[in-house]
Structure 1
């Protein structure tokens, strides 16, 4: 949310979103180059095959396209709308994971039911938090106009740019879900998160720069001064394109796409909490209700994932393979085969 706000502030001062994306990826790539080089020299890493490189290039195409659509949508609207529509990511990811058979979905399984219900509850809670305000709880200067505020104020805008922004942001978050799924697939055969993120950023830098030069051929638009534009580019490159992508890759490799995206609705809760604590924002009853619903949904998903892992462990113990079968069972099997 903070990075989106910085970007919005930069665009208000004339920063083009295509230029922003290209520079942010370039910052991340520049920092990752020496880190990845020395890291690969000091540890054993899997080899890069043509198939893996092709998938990483595809990942770069999807990721850079997602970023271009997303920042274009924010330039037409606001970070609040972007965060609100971003709550569709868990739903998109869950559907894609089921289609790609990365997630098991059994109607009679408690773990599957919990994951589905938890995802729905979290998304519903995030929309409640975003679209419903209610009466203020913490506000030193509460007055009647605040009490009479209605929900979904930003959706009343008659400006057609909001509709365009919504379409762009939905496309962005759908591609983001595809990006998560593809990363999981790559990490299964290439479990090197740092190298993956580096080559992804290289690909995204090349693609976003090419698109940027095509869309924004004016050299003056590529000049960045020592102002909020430079700050937003550096912060987005370091925290958005580098650190968060490395953490995402590590978490995706460890827990999968559905688990990682189930935390997505929490970003609105964190944004609201930080706004109240540091920006003297008003805390509304809708924020409390929405945060509570999100927490219930999140813990439901986590419970479902934990239950699924327990069921898988019990299943593996119930049907041992020849390698880990008990000695007595192996002896009985061998004896019966000899008698036959």
Structure 2
């Protein structure tokens, strides 16, 4: 593999996905501030944020049809876009409802199951190879388990403080079960969300095979979600005053979420899903908890606890174990392809064919 190919297939996906997880932590913090200070409805928030992303990506279908060969928009493809939008929208709404019934910490804990669900679905749909005798497959399994375990350690185990900051902060940590919460109902909604996320990953990969234009897929997805969110939102929030957004943190949160979340983040994930596959992308989910802890200590003045250090270390070991397994699997596939090209049978066939043609 050339240096350019290595950068495109390995360095760039890793760098962009880590960057997007950092951006997501900031967007989540901004969304929490907007909902607490301005009491904006999440139905309204989702509708506006996805509408902003759809407007930004509006020219993409025209450029896609000019630059590459894509199939025409028939009824079947439109229905698949709508189904993909329905899955994504349902995932987000169930997540918001689950957090309202429980807490963000429980949401973070259950989100760590996304790599496991994605790995199982990818094997079922034959997007991932599983051979227990292969060291790459064993590395992916062990790494996935380690990453999930480390994320649970960060969320559920506090431990003694390691670094105590001297200035007040807004902590990213919240109790697992806040007063008046319904943990069982919240957990069911959150489990539904994080079962739908791997289904969305798999569906997006299949959609990219049928309609190979990343930005166009992201545009139609955002358009479907914004329309669906507007319909549901008007039923859930019939008061038009709830849809009026003033020049405050709510507007800033909507614009940032639309530009960096619904537009850029989904576009990067769509591209990474096509290049590296769903399991690779899902492995960054536990990593975001370690990123949130690090950003909380550096920028918000959170206290660093021993549980966070231990959990982040386990997450890192598991994450890089999976990365090693994926890299070795790709290297083995490349060696097999090179071996097939250099095999005697592959070289004899054209020669035999040429002699046959000369005889004729």
Give the TM-score category using the shorter length: 0.7 to 0.9
Q: Determine the structure 2 residue equivalent to 1:327.
A: 347
**Residues 1:64 and 2:67 aligned together:** no
User: What is the SS of the residue equivalent to 1:33?
Assistant: coil
Q: CA deviation at 1:42?
A: 5.5
Gaps of 5+ in 2: 1-24, 168-172
- Match 1:40 to one of 47, 64, 71: 64
**Residues 1:254 and 2:275 aligned together:** yes
User: What is the SS of the residue equivalent to 1:129?
Assistant: helix
Q: Determine the structure 2 residue equivalent to 1:24.
A: 49
Asked if structure 2 preserves the Cα contact closer than 8 Å seen for 1:8 and 1:74, the reply is no
Q: CA deviation at 1:45?
A: 4.2
**Residues 1:182 and 2:211 aligned together:** no
Q: CA deviation at 1:334?
A: 8.5
Spell out, residue by residue over 1:35-70, the C-alpha distance to the aligned partner (whole angstroms, 9 max, x if none): x15633652341234333322221111111111112
Q: Determine the structure 2 residue equivalent to 1:54.
A: 79
Q: Determine the structure 1 residue equivalent to 2:107.
A: 82
TM-score by length of 1: 0.87
Q: Determine the structure 2 residue equivalent to 1:11.
A: 35
Q: Determine the structure 2 residue equivalent to 1:145.
A: none
CA RMSD of aligned residues (A): 2.7
Which consecutive segments of 4 or more residues in structure 1 shift more than 6 A?
A: 332-336
Structure 1 residues 321, 60: closer, same or farther in 2, change over 3 A? Answer: farther
Q: CA deviation at 1:28?
A: 0.9
In 1: Cα distance, 2:174 partner to 2:264 partner: 34
TM-score by length of 2: 0.83
Q: Determine the structure 1 residue equivalent to 2:334.
A: 313
Asked if structure 1 preserves the Cα contact closer than 8 Å seen for 2:106 and 2:176, the reply is no
Query: Size of the alignment, in residue pairs?
Result: 327
Structure 1 residues 327, 237: closer, same or farther in 2, change over 3 A? Answer: same
Q: CA deviation at 1:220?
A: 1.7
- Match 1:283 to one of 304, 309, 325: 304
Q: CA deviation at 1:117?
A: 0.9
Spell out, residue by residue over 1:145-188, the C-alpha distance to the aligned partner (whole angstroms, 9 max, x if none): xxxxxxx9823545343333222222112111111111111112
Q: CA deviation at 1:333?
A: 8.8
User: What is the SS of the residue equivalent to 1:137?
Assistant: strand
Spell out, residue by residue over 1:116-168, the C-alpha distance to the aligned partner (whole angstroms, 9 max, x if none): 111110010011111111111111559xxxxxxxxx98235453433332222
Structure 1 residues 219, 286: closer, same or farther in 2, change over 3 A? Answer: same
**Residues 1:170 and 2:191 aligned together:** yes
Q: CA deviation at 1:234?
A: 1.4
In 1: Cα distance, 2:341 partner to 2:65 partner: 40
Asked if structure 1 preserves the Cα contact closer than 8 Å seen for 2:61 and 2:215, the reply is no
In 2: Cα distance, 1:223 partner to 1:78 partner: 27
- Match 1:237 to one of 252, 258, 273: 258
Q: Mean Cα displacement is larger for which, 55-64 or 197-206?
A: 55-64
Structure 1 residues 187, 255: closer, same or farther in 2, change over 3 A? Answer: same
In 2: Cα distance, 1:274 partner to 1:265 partner: 15
Asked if structure 1 preserves the Cα contact closer than 8 Å seen for 2:53 and 2:259, the reply is yes
In 2: Cα distance, 1:59 partner to 1:254 partner: 19
In 1: Cα distance, 2:293 partner to 2:32 partner: 18
